[in-house]
Structure 1
Amino acid sequence: MRKIVVFSNMYPSTQHPTYGLFVKNQVGLLQSAGLDVDVVAIQNPEKGKIQALKKYMTWFFRSVLYMMKNRKKLSLTHAHYAFPTGIISLIGKKMFGIPYVVTVHGGDIDKMAARNQRIADMTKNILRQAESVIVVGDKLREDVINNFDVPEANVHVMSMGVDTSIFNYVAKVEAREKLSLPIEEKILIFVGNVIQAKGLLELVEAFDSLKMSFPDSSLYVIGSQKDGQFVEELRSFIREKDVEDIHFKEPLGQADLALWMSAADALVLPSYHEGFGLVALEAMSAGTKVVATDVGGLSYLLKDQAGILVEPKNPDSLAKGLWSALDENSNVIDETVVQAKIAQHSYETILEDLLSIYRSAEKGQVDHSE
């Protein structure tokens, strides 16, 4: 295999170190295996119509120019997100004969393709022309096959993986001492963007109910607060409900985040939809119970007692799930299943599967247009 280029509309920078970090981690994994990998990506998460148009157009032309210059060196391109990123890889195949792989992360199917028929048709073409389609969860596999007519044999389920060298077990007492957290307190953490679709209003309501059974408990909301309008709505709701012991923290680096996961009694992820739910897997790898809504990839990741699944948009169900996680006499988690899930999504397994997909794609272009 010669050179690979990864295209992504999300990638970290010094100013935004967690933006698309999962893509950077996979690139690093490939480079550690000796592959020659370049990246052409958007590193600026700022929104606004003019800003978005400018950055996407610049990225588009940089990407096409890169393929034009390197077409004889490239074995394949790898697009993260079907739309809009997959358009670049599709152009590379049509103009320069470069095969491509595309990873579907969820929002590109659940949200972007649902905007209008034109985007849906473009997404379908991108997916069907790809040598291989990688989906980060089983639910996405069903959607890609059934809703976009992609041949079943061409779709591979493979998460972005968990780095078990970072997200590993640390004794709760040790982790809390390092973070100066109370040893006896019940601690819940949420990790993710502070947006309505993550179910945070329901989480506040559920936590308020939980405090009756566990008065000495705290909730830490860790993540980006860029949606100022919703953050204010959330804070107003907390004041209105008069809920105490809810703390907000900005996004953390992976090593710090792993320590917080080890310190917590449970990670809670009450999302309305979730392509995979990587933070849930990371928490499992850190030895922490996970309470999450029974949606998308979470339904598959946490089934068979790997975690505690609750009804989406249902504060009562969420409160019961959190109570089960905090109850010391509750045996709701099957540790054998948890360890099997971690092994399935370890970097070693992911790398082996990804290299196999790349080798198949490199063997030659496949026309899926029929």
Structure 2
Amino acid sequence: MRILYLTNLYPYNGNPVSGIFITRRLEEIAQRKIDFKVYATVIQYCNFFKYFYYLKTRSFPSLYKELKNKNLEYYMYYKYIFCHSNIYDCFTRLFSKDKYYKYLQMKFFNVIENSEDISKFDIIHAHPTYPTGYIALMFKKKYGIPYVVTAHGSDIHTYPKSNLEIRKTTLEILNRADKVIFVSKRLLDIAVSVLEYKGNNFVIIPNGVDVRKFTPMDKFEIRRKLQLSTDYKYVGFVGNLIPIKNAQLLPEIFNLVKKSYNNVKFIVIGFGELYSYIQRECQKYNLDVIFTGIVSHDDIPFWLNALDVLVLPSAEEGWGNVILEALACGVPTVGSNAGGIPEVIGSEDFGRVVEFKENFVNIFANNIVELLNHPLSPVKLRERALQYSWKNIIDKELEVYKSILNKIY
């Protein structure tokens, strides 16, 4: 079996753990000696686009950041291909995002086609559905090669809602795929109810967790190593500090927890457009919060082990893999009922799920305090995570490939 992977989720110098779920899949595939090739599609924006993006977000588009330190293990699997977006492309984007992305994907299509003998591949797997899945669709139309797409989150619950043409293209990619992998049932439900996806070619396979790396450690020793106080309990957030994660709610949540449970400190791991705002609000509340910025994925297990409770108040979430990583470390999560979060947490034996309703923030904070006062069994938390080892996840994905190829041959 020879697999062609296509993705616009990949590690880069500004964020070497970007696309980590793709990288972990590739590591497991490589260990099994399966022949594969991975193309990472990189858009390099013109100065015109970067200027207006900066005016809107006060940051530069992450995909433009240079790809350096390629000696790092994260980069070894990826072949980066670049597409330069000029001023004309940027104006096209203003009037038709779907036309713009299709145009760029066709550029990537041509680069890959000129670099590879496409006919030698047995199957194509694109991450995520849109826009990368469009390249897989084009290869199927031209070469008849079957393709799989994995729907991760924003490609289903956000992008199609923003633009009618993107919705139509996403629906075509889904319906013409030989198999669609959804990382959660909730994501499937959105595709069916909102996008009117036919739902006759799907399977639900979540992202996995590296249970060797994410494992329980001695909290006292870990906190000493991270130069944290051993006299307090810690509540923390790990992820992008952006509105879709409801990161703007963290200061208020932390403040309410502090009012009910005095012996607590807070940790915010990650970066994003809300970083400065969250810092300012935490200072207003006079909270003791450690802001780490972006942390290497290799160091995340240490930080998770330092926590007593992880929080994830997201407005939307495809699967919520950080919850799984915390479970593997024996740490419970208080999360919203958005997306796949309830599916990861499972039951009150493994954390708390808070429904979006009046007094959400107060109820959320109360659940954190409850877990601080009544800790859950780390052993049981770990046992749940073991079900989602990358070995088990890749076993399921390989079965998907085999079932498709068996139908053809």
Aligned length: 358
Query: Which residue pairs with 2:370 in the alignment?
Result: 324
C-alpha separation in 1, matches of 2:45 and 2:30: 28
Kindly state the Cα deviation for residue 298 of structure 1 after the two structures are TM-superposed. 0.3
Deviations 1:41-80 (A, max 9, x none): 1357989874678366666424443246322210111111
Query: Which residue pairs with 2:281 in the alignment?
Result: 237
Which letter maps to 1:106?
G
SS in 2 for 1:288: coil
C-alpha separation in 2, matches of 1:18 and 1:36: 24
Change over 3 Å in CA distance of 1:34–1:151 after alignment to 2: farther
Query: Which residue pairs with 1:61 in the alignment?
Result: 107
* Equivalent in 207, 210, 233 of residue 163 of structure 1: 210
C-alpha separation in 2, matches of 1:67 and 1:4: 15
Change over 3 Å in CA distance of 1:16–1:138 after alignment to 2: same
Kindly state the Cα deviation for residue 365 of structure 1 after the two structures are TM-superposed. 5.9
Q: Give runs of aligned pairs for residues 167-178 of structure 1, distance below 5 A.
A: 167-178=214-225
5+ residue gaps, structure 1: none
Kindly state the Cα deviation for residue 324 of structure 1 after the two structures are TM-superposed. 1.1
For structure 1, which segment, 196-205 or 277-286, has the greater mean C-alpha deviation from structure 2 after superposition? Answer: 196-205
1:12/1:43 contact within 8 Å kept: no
2:335/2:353 contact within 8 Å kept: yes
5+ residue gaps, structure 2: 51-62, 64-82, 86-100
TM-score (norm 2): 0.81
Query: Which residue pairs with 1:193 in the alignment?
Result: 240
Query: Which residue pairs with 1:311 in the alignment?
Result: 355
1:129 equivalent in alignment to 2:202: no
Change over 3 Å in CA distance of 1:274–1:48 after alignment to 2: farther
Change over 3 Å in CA distance of 1:45–1:219 after alignment to 2: farther
SS in 2 for 1:252: coil
C-alpha separation in 2, matches of 1:8 and 1:284: 28
SS in 1 for 2:129: coil
C-alpha separation in 2, matches of 1:355 and 1:119: 29
Change over 3 Å in CA distance of 1:47–1:157 after alignment to 2: farther
Deviations 1:221-271 (A, max 9, x none): 10123x2xx33332332233x232012112212221101111111111111
Q: CA RMSD in A?
A: 2.5
C-alpha separation in 2, matches of 1:147 and 1:181: 46
Kindly state the Cα deviation for residue 149 of structure 1 after the two structures are TM-superposed. 4.7
Kindly state the Cα deviation for residue 184 of structure 1 after the two structures are TM-superposed. 1.9
1:30 equivalent in alignment to 2:22: no
1:16/1:44 contact within 8 Å kept: no
Which letter maps to 2:179?
S
* Equivalent in 306, 331, 338 of residue 295 of structure 1: 338
1:203 equivalent in alignment to 2:250: yes
SS in 2 for 1:292: strand
C-alpha separation in 1, matches of 2:190 and 2:304: 31
1:180 equivalent in alignment to 2:180: no
Query: Which residue pairs with 2:95 in the alignment?
Result: none
Query: Which residue pairs with 2:189 in the alignment?
Result: 142
Change over 3 Å in CA distance of 1:87–1:44 after alignment to 2: closer
Query: Which residue pairs with 1:246 in the alignment?
Result: 289
Query: Which residue pairs with 1:349 in the alignment?
Result: 392
1:270 equivalent in alignment to 2:313: yes
Query: Which residue pairs with 2:403 in the alignment?
Result: 360
Query: Which residue pairs with 1:117 in the alignment?
Result: 164
Change over 3 Å in CA distance of 1:137–1:17 after alignment to 2: same
Deviations 1:141-161 (A, max 9, x none): 222344445454521111120
Change over 3 Å in CA distance of 1:188–1:117 after alignment to 2: same
Change over 3 Å in CA distance of 1:238–1:183 after alignment to 2: closer
SS in 2 for 1:301: helix
Kindly state the Cα deviation for residue 283 of structure 1 after the two structures are TM-superposed. 0.5
Structure number with the bigger relative contact order (C-alpha 8 A, sep ≥ 6) is: 1
SS in 1 for 2:211: coil
2:266/2:290 contact within 8 Å kept: yes
1:199/1:271 contact within 8 Å kept: yes
Kindly state the Cα deviation for residue 202 of structure 1 after the two structures are TM-superposed. 2.1
For structure 1, which segment, 168-177 or 85-94, has the greater mean C-alpha deviation from structure 2 after superposition? Answer: 168-177
TM-score (norm 1): 0.89
* Equivalent in 141, 158, 172 of residue 94 of structure 1: 141
C-alpha separation in 2, matches of 1:355 and 1:307: 31
